[in-house]
């Protein structure tokens, strides 16, 4: 029996291992398996559906602390996982016919644990007797090689590390979330789940501290000099030597000194810069580039990359490596890519150069190489997002074969009276790898005429421009992910989910990670009463302990016992001040709900407040006046019924009504509460109606 992780992977494995390339798929109710023949072996290829088993507390009651757990079928914990039940039943039945078990799940911590748990609880066999397939792509050749050259057995250190990670994440997530939720219930009688976790606490801290920096930032004025000069009929932009001038009087004096004057070239410096090719992607750098070019959240990039991997188009995406080892047949991949119209000319240039060894990065991963294309052709029509991520991966792979890009920078120093100006230019002498990377490469070009010492420019315009200092930039999904990676918090597979959780739980308001009142309530409460939960050092310490299991420096039992003791101490301190903590969270919840529901003053009665209301009869939402019950004010406005609504602190430029942000199906747009009648929104309404009709067709 060969155990894969997903249905798509099972199909790929079965077709690769069957001698005829046409395995028999046998359906059993809502699931299926494959029968294959390979040499003297009859194979049954079955699939899991990610984790078939989850942790569940052994002690009854929605209380804390709860420290003892057991593995149970996932559908016993998650009522939505009903599709797991027939899969477990099928594997249990088929396993009785199997003599040898081969784990073919993803070769990482999660995949290894999935295979182990499936063997132990569904197959009811000894995992120590099982064999292991190890592969990084789902291509036919690699799958056949992985089966024929199986590893001696399972990597139990990897399994133990994954096992304890699940246990510790469960312990901290369940107990701390219950502690916060029950504190609220005790203080106000509400049952409102407020969650936190082992990595979520420090992540919330990063965002809160940056948000505070932005909020307390006081912008200061400064002035810059904006000047242009004329040389041989060309208008050139001049840069003043002082980037910031603190006093307006000084800026005005500079303008007065140089206005209408001539600037003389004092010095010309040229410098060549060699830029080596970027290494192939690991998961973090792929997520970063996909956000930069496409605006994809890290979690979306991972999901898309996972689909491409399951279609055998790219290698396994959950990798830290920036290296392509010699075992990867890059020549064969290049030959296959060369048959694709989009990459034919690039591949030919690489083959003509004779440089068939890609640039290697510094980071490595013992389990998988850097993300790279397999050269396989898609067997289905790719979605727009899949095409974008695939093209990005391919071009980054091809760029790794390119020569250094050579650029030349030029700086001319000019003097006018007592003042120094600069002329800066940059041009590409040899594009090298940037040609292969295409539109994803940043290539600013600024040509300068040939200048020599003594040349003169006529100052044609000069003025001072007032600016203000800017606050530090808020986090975005990509920069927050990099922060977690830099601080060694979470894993490459879990970080994107942690980043998304801040918004899904109401702690932040948008993709720029602006803290909500609920987020501040959770952060400030934890900071005051249980600061250890927000500590980067505390969480990193747990990470290091779990990693030491893989290095055989610690046992799972030692790490788990230590984590339980730390958790008990935290919960004991929490229990002592549960009432105060509950009151603080309740106050934050009230501010959060007010922030989410209040639109602004009612324009009809003047004394009421416009609120987002949901009709108890129809379930539809609308905006109404808070004075409806008291004074009968019947001012209402319709609202879009899909997506989330976020009130904005600004007025409509057309009608003066409060503005809203609507977020639906990944799109975000701003409109006013009076959108149905606003004279400036009618074009928007027509466009929405056009799209609706198009979708109906």
Domains of the chain by start residue, with CATH: 2-154 (3.40.50.140), 163-215+474-589 (1.10.460.10), 221-276+405-468 (2.70.20.10), 283-399 (1.10.290.10), 598-696 (no CATH)
Q: For residue 595, is pLDDT > 90? A: no
**Residue 177 · residue 478 · CB < 8 Å:** no
Q: Note if the bond before 609 is cis, omega within 30 degrees.
A: no
* Cα→Cα distances 626→551, 618, 621, Å: 62, 19, 14
Q: Which stretches of 122-243 are assigned E, i.e. beta strand?
A: 131-132, 221-231, 234-240
Average pLDDT of the residues in 349-375 = 93
For the stretch 533-568, what's the b/e string if a residue is b when 16 or more beta carbons lie within 10 angstroms of its beta carbon?
bbebebbeebbebbbebbeeebebeebbeebbebbe
Residue 641's pLDDT band (boundaries 50, 70, 90)? confident
Residue appearing with tokens 């099928």: 90
Helices (H), 152-193: 156-188
Average pLDDT over residues 296-305: 95
Structure tokens given for 411: 């700086």
Q: Given this model, what pLDDT does residue 592 score?
A: 79
| Residue 508 C-beta-side C-alpha neighbours within 13 Å | 26
Average pLDDT over residues 499-522: 86
pLDDT band at 685 (very low <50, low <70, confident <90, very high): low
Of 95-99, 233-237, 246-250, 442-446, least confident by mean pLDDT is: 442-446
Tokens of 106: 């993803």
Q: Give the per-residue pLDDT at 696.
A: 54
User: For the chain, how are helix, strand and coil distributed in percent, rounded to 5?
Assistant: 40, 20, 35
Is 70 exceeded by the pLDDT of residue 688? no
Instruction: Name which residue leads in pLDDT, 544 or 593.
Output: 544
> β-pairing, 234-240 with 262-275?
unpaired
Arithmetic mean of pLDDT, 19-37: 94
Active-site annotation, residues? 316
Q: Is the pLDDT of residue 694 over 70?
A: no
How remote is the C-alpha of 323 from its chain's centroid? 22
Question: Which one, of 418, 420, 49, 88, lies nearest residue 241 by Cα?
Answer: 420
CB atoms within 10 A of CB 316: 23
Alpha helices in 530-577 (DSSP H): 536-550, 556-576
Structure tokens at 294: 């496409």
pTM: 0.85
Q: Which residues contact 339 (CB under 8 A, 6 or more apart)?
A: none
Instruction: Give percent of the chain with pLDDT exceeding 90.
Output: 71
Q: Could you tell me the sign of the dihedral formed by the alpha carbons of 250, 252, 253, 258, in that order?
A: positive
**What is the spatial distance between Cα 176 and Cα 173, in angstroms, rounded to a whole number?**
6
> Structure tokens of 360?
């290697």
Tokens of 94: 């088929």
Which of the residue ranges 227-236, 423-432, 659-668 would you say has the lowest mean pLDDT? 659-668
Sheet holding 658-664, edge to edge: 644-651, 658-664, 667-672
pLDDT of 691 over the 90 cut: no
Alpha-carbon distances of 646 from 250, 325, 514, 526, 649, rounded to whole Å: 45, 49, 13, 26, 10
Q: Distance (Å, rounded) from C-alpha 228 to C-alpha 250?
A: 19
Q: Is the distance from CB of 597 to CB of 603 less than 8 angstroms?
A: no
Averaged pLDDT for residues 317-334: 94
Of 411 and 532, the one with more pLDDT: 411
Can you name the residues that pair with 231 across neighbouring β-strands? 234
Mean pLDDT of the chain: 92
Q: Do residues 633 and 627 touch, judged by C-beta distance below 8 A?
A: yes
């Amino acid at each position: 029996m060969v155990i894969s992780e997903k249905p798509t992977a099972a199909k790929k494995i079965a077709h690769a291992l069957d001698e005829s390339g046409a395995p028999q798929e046998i359906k059993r109710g809502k699931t299926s398996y494959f029968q294959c023949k390979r040499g003297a072996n009859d194979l049954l290829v079955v699939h899991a559906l990610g984790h078939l088993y989850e942790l569940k507390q052994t002690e009854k009651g929605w209380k804390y602390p709860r420290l003892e757990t057991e593995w149970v079928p996932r559908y016993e914990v998650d009522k939505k996982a009903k599709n797991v039940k027939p899969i477990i039943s099928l594997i249990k039945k088929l396993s009785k016919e199997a003599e040898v078990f081969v784990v073919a799940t993803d070769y990482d911590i999660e995949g290894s644990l999935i295979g182990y748990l499936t063997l132990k609880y569904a197959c009811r066999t000894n995992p120590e007797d099982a064999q292991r397939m190890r592969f990084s792509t789902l291509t036919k050749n690699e799958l056949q090689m992985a089966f024929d050259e199986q590893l001696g057995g399972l990597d139990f250190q990897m399994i133990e590390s994954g096992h304890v990670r699940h246990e510790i994440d469960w312990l901290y997530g369940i107990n701390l979330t219950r502690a916060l939720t029950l504190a609220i219930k005790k203080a106000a009688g509400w049952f409102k789940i407020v969650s936190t976790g082992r990595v979520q606490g420090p992540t919330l801290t990063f965002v809160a501290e940056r948000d505070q920096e932005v909020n307390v930032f006081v912008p200061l004025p400064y002035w810059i000099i904006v000047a242009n000069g004329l040389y041989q009929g060309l208008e050139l932009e001049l840069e003043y030597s002082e980037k910031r001038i603190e006093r307006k009087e000084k800026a005005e004096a500079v303008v007065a000194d140089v206005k209408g004057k001539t600037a003389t070239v004092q010095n010309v410096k040229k410098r060549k810069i060699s830029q080596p090719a970027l290494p192939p992607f690991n998961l973090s750098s792929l997520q970063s580039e996909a956000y930069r070019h496409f605006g994809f959240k890290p979690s979306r990039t991972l999901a898309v990359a996972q689909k491409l991997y399951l279609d055998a188009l790219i290698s396994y995406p959950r990798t830290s490596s920036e290296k392509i080892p010699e075992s990867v047949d890059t020549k064969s991949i290049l030959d296959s890519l060369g048959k694709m119209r989009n990459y034919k000319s690039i591949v030919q240039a690489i083959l003509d150069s004779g440089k068939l060894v890609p640039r290697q990065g510094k980071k490595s991963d013992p389990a998988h190489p850097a993300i790279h294309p397999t050269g396989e052709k898609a067997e289905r029509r790719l979605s727009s997002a899949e095409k974008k991520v695939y093209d990005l991966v391919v071009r980054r792979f091809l760029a790794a074969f390119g020569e250094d890009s050579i650029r030349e920078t030029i700086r001319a120093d000019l003097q006018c009276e007592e003042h120094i100006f600069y002329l800066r230019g940059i041009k590409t002498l040899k594009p090298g790898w940037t040609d292969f990377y295409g539109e994803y490469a940043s290539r600013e070009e600024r040509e300068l005429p040939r200048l020599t010492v003594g040349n003169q420019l006529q100052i044609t315009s000069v003025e001072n421009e007032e600016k203000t200092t800017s606050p530090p930039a808020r986090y975005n999904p990509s920069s927050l992910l990099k922060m977690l990676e830099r601080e060694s918090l979470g894993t490459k597979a879990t970080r994107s989910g942690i980043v998304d959780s801040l918004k899904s739980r109401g702690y932040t308001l948008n993709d720029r990670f602006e803290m909500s009142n609920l987020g501040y309530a959770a952060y400030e409460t934890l900071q005051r009463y249980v600061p250890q939960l927000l500590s980067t050092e505390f969480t990193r310490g747990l990470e290091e302990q779990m990693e030491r299991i893989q290095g055989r420096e610690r046992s799972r039992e030692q790490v788990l016992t230590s984590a339980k003791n730390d958790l008990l101490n935290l919960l004991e301190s929490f229990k002592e001040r549960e009432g105060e903590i509950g009151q603080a969270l309740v106050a934050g919840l009230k501010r959060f709900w007010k922030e989410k529901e209040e639109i602004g003053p009612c324009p009809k009665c003047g004394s009421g407040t416009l609120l987002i209301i949901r009709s108890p009869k129809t379930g539809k939402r609308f905006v109404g006046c808070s004075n409806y019950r008291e004074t009968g004010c019947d001012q209402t406005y319709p609202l879009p019924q899909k997506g989330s609504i976020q009130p904005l602190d600004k007025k409509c430029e057309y009608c003066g009504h409060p503005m809203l942000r609507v977020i639906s199906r990944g799109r975000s747009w701003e409109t006013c509460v009076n959108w149905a009648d606003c004279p400036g929104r009618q074009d928007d309404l027509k466009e929405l109606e056009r799209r609706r009709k198009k979708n109906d067709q």
